[in-house]
Amino acid sequence: MIDILPLQGSPVVNVAVALTLTYQVVMCFYNYFFHPLAKYPGPKLAAISELWYAKNWYAVQARWAFTLLDASKKYGDVIRIAPNELFITSFEAFEEIYGHTNHSKGRKPFLKSEFYDNPDEMSPLGAERDPVRHRETRKMLAHSFSESALTQQVQFIMSHIDLFMKQIEKYGSHEKGIQVDEWFNWLTFDIIGDLAFGESFHAIEKVKSNPAVTALMNVLFTGSVKERKLHQEFARELIVKRIAKGDDRADFFGHLLGDEKTRPSEEFLRTNASSLLIAGSETTATALSGMTYYLLERPECLRALQDEVRGAFQSDDEINETSTRDLIYVDAVI
């Protein structure tokens, strides 16, 4: 066989390797001394490459939050955790980045990255990169998240929590117990389905996952085109049913459905309902699972939480969105 290009040990390979190494060294030097984020403190390895992030995130994911906490104690409120990334614990910075008042103050908004681009369909509020469209969408949805609107929605939330507690009492006493993270997912999907689509998935009632929930979880973790299409079609069907119910229901979209002339398009409702379903369910379930795990790992914290709640209320009927506002330890746990 004739070697057309004998690569092993050839000058071409040597030059390629040398150039690659030189480029890496130059980039490390640039990232550490001249990069726009070079002024921010943090681990030196994080400043020059993605290795620090990769080591702590991918290798020990369960400790990632504690790694960031330890880093913030050492370096302060703003930490450089990768060449192009900052970790921020400052409330003022949170308002500066995510607040909606920057435009009125004449400041340029912090645009989301290209990761959120979705050229094939309308973007939901949380993924909209265009400031003008984001402002318009936010204005349309603002009433759904006003204090008065959220107060009206409490009735739906409490009914699901009451059922959840009854089912926990019934099935949690079994020898095998229950898979608590799965149950938290059922609960949050039932609640957000009720608020976003006007229809619960009845997972807690039936003590099994709804096919829609399974499809959505597949969308989140596999992202396949097939699963996305199935989820979109299911969401469209639910929105059609929700529109048919009219505007007399105090959920996320009740106030938008009154006047047909000003009513948003079906695509707008479907896209934002799907986004709310994802944003308000899996994230909350994960947080609840994490809190449960860490409280059981720290009995003294669990006792402190129990003491505060039991000292504040004589019965569960007294627990509502108003009476829980001053529970300092509950807030700390969350």
> Looking at 47, 68, 98, which one is the last position of a domain?
98
pLDDT tens column, 11-57: 878 888 888 999 999 999 999 999 999 999 999 999 999 999 998 88
Question: Mean pLDDT lowest for which of 54-68, 206-220, 233-247?
Answer: 206-220
pLDDT tens column, 305-323: 999 999 999 998 899 888 9
Domain annotation covers residue 93: yes
Domain annotation covers residue 104: no
Residues 110-126: what's their mean pLDDT? 77
Question: Mean pLDDT lowest for which of 17-21, 245-249, 280-284?
Answer: 245-249
Domain annotation covers residue 249: no
Number of domains present in the structure of the chain: 2
> Looking at 37, 63, 98, which one is the last position of a domain?
98
Confidence class for position 103, pLDDT limits 50, 70, 90: low
Length of the chain: 334
Confidence class for position 121, pLDDT limits 50, 70, 90: low
Domain annotation covers residue 281: no
The pLDDT of residue 309:
96
Confidence class for position 84, pLDDT limits 50, 70, 90: very high
The pLDDT of residue 223:
61
How high is the mean pLDDT of the chain?
84
> Looking at 82, 98, 114, which one is the last position of a domain?
98
Q: Is the pLDDT of residue 262 over 80?
A: no
The pLDDT of residue 1:
46
* Enclosing domain of residue 81: 18-98
Residues of the chain with pLDDT > 90: what percent?
Answer: 40
pLDDT tens column, 174-224: 888 899 999 999 999 999 888 887 888 899 999 988 776 676 666 666 666
